[in-house]
Amino acid sequence: MSGATQLIETVLREADVRINGDRPWDIHVKDERFYAAVVRGRSLGFGEAYMAGWWDCERIDELTSKLFVSDIGGRFRLTPANVLLGVRAFFESGGTRRNAFKVGEHHYNIGNDLFSRMLDKRMVYTCGYWRNAKNLDEAQEAKLDLVCKKLGLRAGQKVLDIGCGWGSFAKFAAEKYGAHVTGVTVSKEQAALGKELCTGLPVVFELKDYRDVRGRFDHIVSLGMFEHVGYKHYRTYMQVVHDHLKDDGLFLLHTIGNNYSTNYTDPWIRKYIFPGGMLPSVVQVGKAVEKLFVIEDWQNFGADYDRTLMAWFANFDRHWPEIRSHYGDGFYRMWKFYLMVTAGSFRARDIQLWQVVLSKKGVSGGYLSVR
């Protein structure tokens, strides 16, 4: 047995994971190169080895959850390679105007045929709210309604949606609440389909960086976009929101959150899924809003993202034969790994989902939390 093999087996045993075991979360090694790849590349090597077919697992979500609960990831973070990642992230220009459209091109422009099959009927690509929901459609509609209620949205009000996706919130807010919505996205595919889906509604789509927004709005929402801003630009982002929000308006920030502050993201996710992506911490959000906003409400329903991601994978897997020829089997393994690993991370509570309601000067008499 090589040193790499012995090391990996020992570490996995601490998380109750066996090599070639018979439980759904056990790893089955197909190629011995797996061991050296993981020792050398850690999480990047682990993901690339899966993409190459060097290992397999019946339930990657359960495997990932066990790895995070046992804090194997924590042991891997403090390595020279990850220190270099932090240094690289500091000097790279992620989140700048020049790179603003990069994530749109790399991820959100992959293909509307993929997302329309994977997501719910409204094409909401953020966490659903499962408190009283029986399925994905209900969970996503409940989340959109929750956002509108937290804003106290009324007919005729103007709302800015930063990172509007395919217009799911804009369409819902216009149809159900009579709002006038301006959606901003860096994805041409999202903007094109969004315009089609919102035909006839008081909804406008703008293909631009959030820093180029014009006008003032009664309310502003940001659902799943803050993860692309980058820690060096959190303050700039909040200043932009502050400048375009009316004095008596509310801002709702819906974002995945990290349990600790960092200046880099997982290298596999960064390379294959979200270039420049980064998860904020409570401290980083707090510093970004200081002297700009009053935090009126902070809700964490990160456990709901586990269920959302599992529903997305079920849809993706069921419809895969319809789009296989467009994407290829290599894409299937990459996308499955992305969805399953992320679900496991939320299940282990390693990452969170926050909805934060902010006002510029404090709500007179106090804000009434909505759940």
Q: Mind listing the pLDDT tens digit for each residue in 109-142?
A: 899 999 999 999 999 999 999 999 999 999 999 9
Residue percentage of the chain with pLDDT more than 70: 92
Model confidence at 311: pLDDT above 90: yes
pLDDT of residue 102: 73
CB 182 within 8 A of CB 220: no
- How many Å separate Cα 63 from the centre of its chain? 20
pLDDT of residue 100: 66
Place of tokens 């939320």: 346
Cα gap 198→167, rounded to integer Å: 7
pLDDT of residue 125: 98
Model confidence at 227: pLDDT above 80: yes
pLDDT of residue 264: 83
Helices (H), 20-104: 33-51, 60-69, 72-77, 80-91, 102-103
What mean pLDDT comes out for the span 55-84? 77
Cα gap 198→306, rounded to integer Å: 29
What mean pLDDT comes out for the span 76-102? 56
pLDDT of residue 2: 76
Please, what sign has the CA dihedral across residues 287, 288, 293, 294?
A: negative
User: Rounded mean pLDDT of the chain?
Assistant: 93
pLDDT of residue 78: 42
Provide the pLDDT confidence category of residue 73 given band limits of 50, 70 and 90. Answer: low
What mean pLDDT comes out for the span 172-180? 98
The SS3 call for residue 29 is strand
Provide the pLDDT confidence category of residue 26 given band limits of 50, 70 and 90. Answer: very high
pLDDT of residue 74: 54
Residue percentage of the chain with pLDDT more than 90: 85
Of the candidates 230, 277, 263, which has an alpha carbon nearest to the alpha carbon of residue 90? 263
Cα gap 350→52, rounded to integer Å: 26
pLDDT of residue 103: 72
Provide the pLDDT confidence category of residue 225 given band limits of 50, 70 and 90. Answer: very high
Provide the pLDDT confidence category of residue 77 given band limits of 50, 70 and 90. Answer: very low
Provide the pLDDT confidence category of residue 71 given band limits of 50, 70 and 90. Answer: confident
- How many other C-beta atoms are found inside a 10 Å radius of the C-beta of residue 8? 22
H/E stretch holding 284: helix 282-289
